[in-house]
Amino acid sequence: MSLVGKHLIDPGDFTLTEFDSVFQLAEKIIENKEDFSEICKGKILASLFYEPSTRTRLSFESAMLRMGGKVLGFSDANVSSTSKGESIADTIRVISSYADIAVIRHPKEGAPKLASKYSSIPIINGGDGGHQHPTQTLTDLLTIRTFKGSLQGISVAFCGDLKFGRTVHSLIKTLSRYPYNRFILISPRELRLPEHIKYSLDNQKTIEIIETEDLESVIDNIDIFYMTRIQKERFFNEADYVRLKDSYILNKEKLKCAKKDMLIMHPLPRVNEISYEVDEDDRAVYFKQAEFGVYVRMALMALLLGVYKNA
């Protein structure tokens, strides 16, 4: 099995064994970061962000720099030739000769996939519209694996904007590939998980899917609580956003009924949906989760570039 030269556009592009190889390498990196500080010497990451980002962009860039490589790119499409009307196909054809690997974030669903068709270097989807966010999924799975020890037989609640939240779409689809998981979907009616995602879940492996608008009625029986922000930028009108934005706010009071070992996760950025008082709770792992994002991206790039030989 080799990941060398592959693209990662959708989590379904990788087998569960390939996921495991990424996690195992990420764990090795966490144990001994020094050993990996030179493995990407001479390699260049193109960081192409057509949509705002803090964590994803900086964690990719940090990951490449921590492995001794270099980074070029842009964090605002207005400063690239896209603003002159250049297609993503032409951009990526050219960038293929400037870099060895590229991460693309784009507001249009499918843009990274299109780019991968014209690219001679590995393309990683850094989030495409409301569609998928595979490297956040790798980050989330590494977090769950580290704190829970397993990716199966767990009750995972997704709360907030399940309609537009691409991190939810990628994570639930991937977790449904592991056996005996239960999913609890907590959202306002208008922001429910899209039907096509629900149908794409592996029903053979999944034990149960519960949909509710009522957070309090289900909080006592959850292993992983995955909170998400209402995705303001994907709304067609401001009034709907304003009406829905504070639908759920997790605070100490609500957590009183939760399991003592429930993990509280969030892909970040947080707006209002988790009170700051929750940050002190031992169950809150969202900042640790963001840190894992760097190690998992180091592992992923090392494997796609083929610079790590013992995988």
Select which of 28, 33, 55, 288 is catalytic.
55
Choice from 113, 166, 173, 297 touching ligand NCD (CB under 6 A): 166
Asked if 192 is an active-site residue, the reply is: no
Residue 112 touching ligand NCD (CB under 6 A)? no
263-265 vs 101-106, strand pairing mode: unpaired
Quick note: the x/- pattern for ligand NCD over 251-270, rule CB under 6 A, is ----------------xxx-
Distance separating alpha carbons of residues 184 and 220, to the nearest angstrom: 12
Q: Smallest distance from the beta carbon of 220 to ligand NCD, in angstroms?
A: 26
- The C-alpha angle 286, 287, 292, rounded to 5 degrees, equals 95
Helix (H/G/I), strand (E/B), else coil: 198: helix
User: How many whole angstroms separate alpha carbon 3 and alpha carbon 34?
Assistant: 23
Q: Does 245 bind ligand NCD (CB under 6 A)?
A: no
Give the containing element (helix H, strand E) for 289.
helix 286-305
| 82 in contact with ligand NCD (CB under 6 A) | no
Closest CA to 167 of 58, 286, 259, 280: 286
CB of 169 to ligand NCD, least distance (A): 10
Which residues have a Cβ under 8 Å from the Cβ of 236 and sit 6 or more positions away? none
> Is 129 a binder of ligand NCD (CB under 6 A)?
no
Q: How far is the CB of 261 from ligand NCD (least distance, A)?
A: 24
Kindly state the number of chain residues that form the binding site for ligand NCD, as judged by CB under 6 A: 12
Site residues for ligand NCD per CB under 6 A: 55-56, 127, 133, 136, 166-167, 228-229, 267-269
Q: Which residues belong to the active site?
A: 55-56, 84, 105, 133
